[in-house]
A and B are shown apart, each in its own frame.
Chain A
Amino acid sequence: MTDQNILVMNGNEFTFEPGETILDVARRHSVDIPTLCHLKGATPTGACRICVVEVEGARTLLAACATPAGKNMVIRTESPQVVEARRTILKLMLASGNHNCAARGSDEQDWTAFQLAVEAGDGSNKLCPTWGDCRLQDLAYRYQVDGEGHPGTASPYPLEDVNPMIVRDFSRCILCGRCVQACNEIQVNKAISFGFRGAETKIIAAGDKPLKDSDCVFCGECVQVCPVAALVEKNPRYDVRPWETEQVRTTCTYCGVGCQIHLHVRDNKVVKVTGVEDMAPNYGSLCVKGRFGFDFIHAPDRLTKPLVRKNGQLEETSWEEALDFVADKLGQIKKDHGPNSIGLLTSARVSNEENYVAQKFARAVIKTNNVDHCARL
């Protein structure tokens, strides 16, 4: 072997940059080491240990996310020992808490009792709300494990659903700590942290208060990064299943940052919003308005028909009539008082295309430069 920064992974030689972790090198070379707690942009903690790999000469398996790549390392990412370790971790996670999906398994024929217990805690008789969109479930299938053979442990903490946006379900939390990192290291809101110890460990907000009474600003970063069903948006919870929705990529309509978002659509309705990961300018992050402020789209009081004032009242009318009326009236005013007696306020809310057409209308058709928008206000 040479002096270069080279290591061997699953029999292949790969170069690496100083400072890269084993996980970084693997990802760069498309070697799939599974992760759970690892969160891009945050300090690796190695907490969940799903990413363990075998490194020749090391006494134990090492967490790939937290181990720096070293010269001449010989690494195996899916050796029998590694796979066994991952299976054990997954089994423990599946056995702890209310993971009521097929991945949990039921060799004791206790499914009914289990499901009833879940229902008692959470008020729903359905399968887990993130069924089909769960990292734990994915890994359980990948490593062919279920929760069988381990005595189930129930969470000592009741569900929190006292705010209209986020439900915290401690019974499904696997204590990976991604939410804590997202809140503290990505959004830097410092609202949540690990609290209590041992079997009592819990993610807490402000000395164990509900989110609404803490420093939480409901950005929902924690919800987006939670790999299981411990943190879920309240309205779509149970109601919307991922396979029922289509995602449309667009730009948020609130402030000037222009966050990239996915609108999750079911039956012509936006049911949820998430941030587009790995993409400027927001790299998955959003604020409370972007993530939870979309109810207005389907508000019952949206205007749906043109209205024209008749005898002092605004009355519904046809497009034909409304457009004719406006065109006649504008034409008349232009003729009587000149083009500069007409003004047009375009909008910082509407698209470039619409702004362009609006100012073109004022300039080419009315022939006035009385065009402005309220952005200064």
Chain B
Amino acid sequence: MTNTVACAEKADVILITGSNTTENHPVISAGVKRAVESGRTKLIVVDPRYIKIAGFADIFMRQNLGSDVAWLNGMMHVIIKEDLYDKDFVAERTEGFEELKASVEKYTPAHVEEISGIPADLLVEAARMYAGAKVASILYCMGITQHTSGTDNVKSLANLAMLCGNLGMPGGGVNPLRGQNNVQGACDMGGLPNVYTAYQAVNSEEVARKMEGAWGVEGVSLELGMKATEMIPAAHDGRLKALYVLGENPLVSDADLNHAEKSLANLELMVVQDLFMTETAEMADVVLPGRCFAEKDGTFSNTERRVQRVRQAVEAPGEAWDDWKIIGEIATRMGYPMSYGNAEEIFEEIRQVTPSYAGITYERIAVEGLHWPCLNEEHPGTPILHSTQFTRGKGMFHAIDWQPPAETADAEYPLYLTTGRVLYQYHTGTMTMRSEGLMDRAPESFVEISPKDAATYGIEDGTRVNIASRRGTINALVKVSHKAVDGTVFIPFHYAHAAANKLTNAALDPVSGIPEFKVCAVKLSAES
């Protein structure tokens, strides 16, 4: 996030899109709801489903799946046409405005209505509301990123925020809500194929020499590595021979699971480090018992870039080890001694090679976490990014054209499927499905369908149906709900027994490598 969690309560207008906030980030949603209830803040929600937070919205717009660039361009079209944009900000802090202006020219509200299904007058109203705010915040989540156009969607949101000068101040910003506890930290620490810690490029000679110096090695690779979504096909065609998996369960979370399973079976060696015998661990050659958060010391970095302490509360069961210790032992056996005494020693090393974390110490974050960048021990941390300038100097507008999703509904697969989470489950359920309370609330998968579609197919709430895509078939319980829009069904992806990802499309966003989980074509049939 460019801003903080608390910031939402300072906005005049909040735009939420592609985030089922009350279910996936309940504590953030509470802040949004408080702001709306207080009368200070107006709320615009753009989502294909009538999710709970939509009930709090002043304007709710239901876009067709995969039409985000179109409606965002449409909003900017209106804002520019009506001269509502922040001219000072655009002049002083950005470049590329003329290109943007030209590219949104054709996205008239009427044209956008054809693509997105959003009524033209509603779009105009939303554009005026967003642009009319002194300060407006954008919150988004996987509903924006999990598309073949995900990167374009994110850039379009940034365009909109810059156009209205909504960056760098309390209550503003473009704020991705991270779905997992330490996504931010995994990225910050270089858990990515193209960067070391603090986003230092792997293909930079200078960075490579610096890391070699710090680590006392020679010959680190300057080549970009494979993304997770490229590793699977590489395993399939034999380029990848070994995969080491730390606490992930790609066999439920990946797109097009049937293909993923075949690919992993092809590996010469798969090592899985986890808490439980997950679907992925079942296939591994070696399974190593790790520790859960309550059994270890360390830090997590939250969605607002705040680095916070994790503390050991209980002893680990049996012979479960800290993940860093396991890896360190293997490294040592491979001829590179890596023996840390505790998590803090590792953190001290991180500070040396990670400029944005350099000023953070365990002592400083003992009571309250600090936001990176935090450059030295006197630095107070940075709750709000870009307050005087962007990382690259001026903010760049990106002229972007709308592209349809990779798969569209047709005669054979006439319905759209979109996937997501439910409040009571988390990711692939390895943790939540072991909780009595959570399982009582959300014991099994379902397919959410609109009343009209249910009538068309002659299916009733509580019955079971088969849902098929070009890639697979699953069976799930029907939940008829006004949340669903006609023509689109929703299935949560948590449940291995009815894995929504057997159906999803592995078509990737060309830049981020994120699969299009949010759109694919399916058909329904009553259980035979």
Contact = CB atoms under 8 A, between A and B. Distances in A.
Given A280-B6, A359-B190, A368-B221, A255 B181 contact: yes
Contact of B25 (A257, A329, A361): A257
B435 interface: yes
A164 B181 CA distance: 25
Given A301-B277, A341-B240, A293 B438 contact: yes
Interface in A294-342: 294-299, 301-309, 314, 319, 322-327, 329-331, 333, 336-337, 339-342
A301 B320 CA distance: 12
Given A269-B314, A330-B334, A353-B346, A319 B321 contact: yes
B477 interface: no
Interface string B380-410: 0000000000000000000000000000000
A255 B190 CA distance: 20
Contacts of B249: 374
B26 A372 contact: no
Interface in A30-82: none
A250 B310 contact: yes
A306 B314 contact: no
A243 B436 CA distance: 26
Interface string A347-371: 1111111111111111111011111
B342 to A, nearest CB: 9
Interface in B285-306: 285-290, 292-296, 298-304, 306
Given A352-B185, A354-B324, A357-B327, A255 B193 contact: no
Given A188-B37, A333-B242, A374-B250, A351 B185 contact: yes
Contacts of A362: 225
Interface in A152-210: 163-165, 185-188
Contacts of A292: 435, 437-438
B323 interface: yes
Nearest to B328: A357
Interface stretch (A83-91, A114-122, A258-266): A258-266
Contacts of B268: 329, 333
Interface string B188-205: 111111101100001000
Interface residues of B, number: 152
B191 A330 contact: no
Interface stretch (A3-11, A99-107, A283-291): A283-291
Interface stretch (B65-73, B226-234, B449-457, B465-473): B226-234
A358 B440 contact: no
Given A293-B437, A303-B274, A345 B221 contact: no
Interface in B429-451: 430-432, 434-438, 440-441
B369 to A, nearest CB: 7
Contact of A352 (B301, B318, B430, B513): B301
Given A164-B436, A343-B231, A352-B188, A256 B4 contact: no
Contacts of A126: none
Contacts of B343: 351, 353
B331 A361 contact: yes
A218 interface: yes
B276 A301 contact: yes
Given A343-B243, A373-B186, A263 B327 contact: no
B27 A305 contact: no
A281 B306 contact: yes
A346 B310 CA distance: 18
B296 to A, nearest CB: 7
B127 interface: no
B311 interface: yes
Interface in B482-528: 512-515, 517
A339 B221 CA distance: 9
B234 A343 contact: yes
B229 A376 contact: yes
Contacts of A346: 186, 189, 191, 246
A375 interface: yes
Contact of B253 (A323, A342, A377): A377
B432 A293 contact: yes
B300 A251 contact: yes
Given A343-B242, A356-B189, A375-B183, A259 B319 contact: no
B179 interface: yes
Given A248-B311, A369-B221, A372-B231, A314 B186 contact: no
A214 interface: no
Given A250-B311, A294-B294, A373 B330 contact: no
Contact of A164 (B26, B177, B306, B437): B437
A364 B217 contact: yes
Contact of A281 (B6, B276, B282, B431): B6
5 contacts: A297-B295, A301-B276, A340-B226, A352-B350, A373-B186
Given A340-B225, A351-B185, A371-B193, 5 more contacts: A164-B437, A188-B33, A280-B306, A343-B243, A347-B246
